């Protein structure tokens, strides 16, 4: 048993949520097969939801947060892993109702663990984290439906966020003409520096619009926003175009008619990075490894310490964060 530091979310008797870094004991972790000494984690919107007491993400508090972790196997009761293996754990129940990766230790089922692919180490993998995995899965779905760079512009909504900024960088490096939609006009130069060719105000697509179809504009889109934004993006796809839908920061609900689907043959593609089978995650991580040294990916990331997590999650929850944040947990 060892004492370790963890980002901890507690619910007071009056229902108020408290966020802090506390000492925990590895003996209190669940009895799963693989004990991982976490070296890096990263921040996601879901971490901010859990840290703000969202019971749809975390049913019971106190709770050790963090849906991402990368580090070194310290103990393993599974033949698939041995001490010293470099591993990545994202999604499934990590950081939701299982003690998460914003801590020096996690103990998880072997079925959630994947070996760091060649080209990635714990730090480099968390430059992507769940955000990068999701961006890659969105791009894969668009490509499967024929959205190639020659087909025209691709829109990314929530572009200064974690998923959005990594999607901008990955799409640009794959040769796409990327339009970034953002509520932060002052970050237009930053978005262009990581790969956007054009930046539009999020209000352009974020307001309700009763017209059943809008001007055909985009060959594809990565949407992290949902709500009216998603409804308007669907109406703005070119014939045969596709939108990969993965988020809900504006709203989980959106209004639509069948018209863009039956008159333009557009596609609405759902993306889940959490519960997909491990081999599918492994394949996407191998793709990310090929972009591990992309300058834009380093550029859009900032690194913080575990102590800085409570304040950083406030910022993220308020939609004020720029880019993706990695958390250095330990050696
Ligand atoms: N399906 C999956 O497997 C999966 C995986 C990861 C994340 N997600 C979801 O994807 C979404 C984004 O996650 P993230 O970690 O990238 O979050 P994030 O870093 O907070 O980024 C979200 C971005 O959306 C924009 N935004 C914020 N509030 C908005 C509003 N009210 N209306 C319109 N835009 C708004 C902001 O960008 P601008 O200021 O640039 O507009 C913000 O930076 C979340 O809903 C998350 O739950 C899903």
- pLDDT tens digits, one per residue of 283-300: 999 999 999 999 999 999
Nearest CA to ligand 1 atom 8: 247
Please tell me the predicted confidence (pLDDT) of residue 114: 97
Residue-wise DSSP of 149-165: GGG--EEESSTTSHHHH
Write the CA distances from 229 to 56, 248, 277, integer angstroms: 23, 10, 29
- C-beta separation of 73 from 32 below 8 A: no
- C-beta separation of 45 from 162 below 8 A: yes
Nearest CA to ligand 1 atom 44: 247
Write the CA distances from 325 to 34, 149, 275, integer angstroms: 26, 28, 23
- pTM of the predicted protein model: 0.97
Task: List alpha helices for the chain, DSSP H.
Answer: 45-51, 122-126, 129-144, 162-173, 188-193, 203-206, 227-235, 259-263, 278-290, 295-299, 309-317
Eight-class DSSP state of 71: E
Task: Please enumerate, as own/partner, the contacts of 171-179 that have beta carbons within 8 Å and a separation of 24 or more.
Answer: 171/139, 171/195, 171/222, 172/196, 172/197, 172/296, 173/291, 173/294, 173/296, 174/139, 174/149, 175/149, 176/149, 177/149, 177/152, 177/153, 178/153, 178/154, 179/153, 179/154, 179/155, 179/218
Q: What's the topology of domain 3-127+292-328?
A: Quinone Oxidoreductase; Chain A, domain 1 (3.90.180)
180 Cβ closer than 6 Å to some ligand 1 atom: no
Q: What's the CATH class of domain 131-270?
A: alpha beta
Query: What is d(CA 77, CA 274) in angstroms, rounded to the nearest whole number?
Result: 24
Please tell me the predicted confidence (pLDDT) of residue 199: 98
- What is the position in ligand 1's atom list of the atom closest to the CA of 324? 19
134 — phi, psi (to 5°)? -65, -45
Angle, in degrees to the nearest 10, between helices 278-290 and 129-144: 90
The domain limits of the chain are 3-127+292-328, 131-270
Report, in this order, helix, strand and coil percent for the chain, each rounded to 5: 30, 30, 40
How does strand 178-182 pair with strand 198-201?
parallel
From first to last of the 331 residues of the chain, give the pLDDT tens digit: 899 999 999 999 888 999 999 999 999 999 999 999 999 999 999 999 999 999 999 999 999 999 999 999 999 999 999 999 999 999 999 999 999 999 999 999 999 999 999 999 999 999 999 999 999 999 999 999 999 999 999 999 999 999 999 999 999 999 999 999 999 999 999 999 999 999 999 999 999 999 999 999 999 999 999 999 999 999 999 999 999 999 999 999 999 999 999 999 999 999 999 999 999 999 999 999 999 999 999 999 999 999 999 999 999 999 899 999 999 998 7
Please tell me the predicted confidence (pLDDT) of residue 158: 97
Give yes or no for a cis peptide into 292 (omega within 30° of 0).
no
Write the CA distances from 123 to 163, 232, 238, 295, integer angstroms: 18, 37, 39, 15
59 — phi, psi (to 5°)? -75, -40
Please tell me the predicted confidence (pLDDT) of residue 1: 81
Nearest CA to ligand 1 atom 11: 247
Which pair of tokens denotes residue 181?
């939609």
Nearest CA to ligand 1 atom 19: 161
CA of 164 to the centre of ligand 1 (A): 7
160 Cβ closer than 6 Å to some ligand 1 atom: yes
285 Cβ closer than 6 Å to some ligand 1 atom: no
Nearest CA to ligand 1 atom 41: 182
Write the CA distances from 85 to 36, 73, 218, integer angstroms: 9, 5, 43
Please tell me the predicted confidence (pLDDT) of residue 15: 86
Nearest CA to ligand 1 atom 24: 158
Q: Kindly report the number of other CB atoms within 10 A of residue 307's CB atom.
A: 12
Query: What is d(CA 287, CA 299) in angstroms, rounded to the nearest whole number?
Result: 19
- C-beta separation of 250 from 226 below 8 A: yes
247 Cβ closer than 6 Å to some ligand 1 atom: yes
């Amino acid at each position: 048993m060892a004492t370790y530091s963890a980002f901890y979310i507690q619910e007071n008797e009056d229902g108020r949520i408290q966020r802090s870094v506390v000492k925990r004991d590895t003996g209190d972790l669940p009895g799963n097969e693989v004990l991982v000494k976490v070296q890096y984690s990263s921040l996601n919107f879901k971490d901010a939801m859990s840290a703000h007491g969202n019971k749809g993400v975390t049913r019971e508090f106190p709770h050790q947060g963090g849906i991402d972790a990368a580090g070194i196997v310290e103990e393993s009761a599974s033949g698939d892993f041995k001490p010293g293996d470099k591993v990545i754990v994202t999604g499934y129940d990590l950081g939701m109702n299982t003690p998460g990766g914003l801590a020096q230790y996690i103990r998880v089922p072997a079925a959630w663990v994947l070996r760091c692919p060649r080209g990635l180490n714990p730090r480099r993998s968390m430059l992507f984290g769940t955000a990068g995995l999701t961006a890659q899965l969105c791009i894969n779905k668009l490509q499967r439906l024929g959205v190639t760079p020659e087909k025209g512009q691709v829109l990314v909504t929530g572009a200064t966020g974690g998923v959005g900024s990594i999607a901008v960088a990955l799409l640009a490096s794959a040769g796409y003409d990327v339009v970034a939609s953002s509520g932060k006009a002052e970050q237009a130069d930053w978005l262009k520096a990581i790969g956007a060719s054009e930046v539009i105000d999020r209000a352009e697509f974020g307001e309700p619009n009763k017209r059943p179809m809008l001007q055909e504009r985009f060959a594809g889109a990565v949407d992290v926003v949902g709500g009216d934004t998603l409804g308007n993006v669907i109406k703005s796809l070119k014939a045969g175009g596709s939108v990969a839908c993965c988020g809900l920061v504006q709203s989980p609900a959106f209004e639509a008619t069948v018209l863009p689907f039956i008159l333009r043959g557009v596609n609405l593609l759902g993306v889940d990075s959490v519960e997909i089978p491990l081999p599918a995650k492994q394949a996407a991580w191998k793709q990310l490894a090929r972009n591990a040294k992309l300058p834009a990916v380093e550029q859009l990331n900032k690194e913080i310490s575990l102590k800085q997590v409570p304040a950083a999650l406030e910022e993220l929850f308020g939609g004020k964060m720029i880019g993706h944040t990695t958390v250095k947990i330990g050696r």
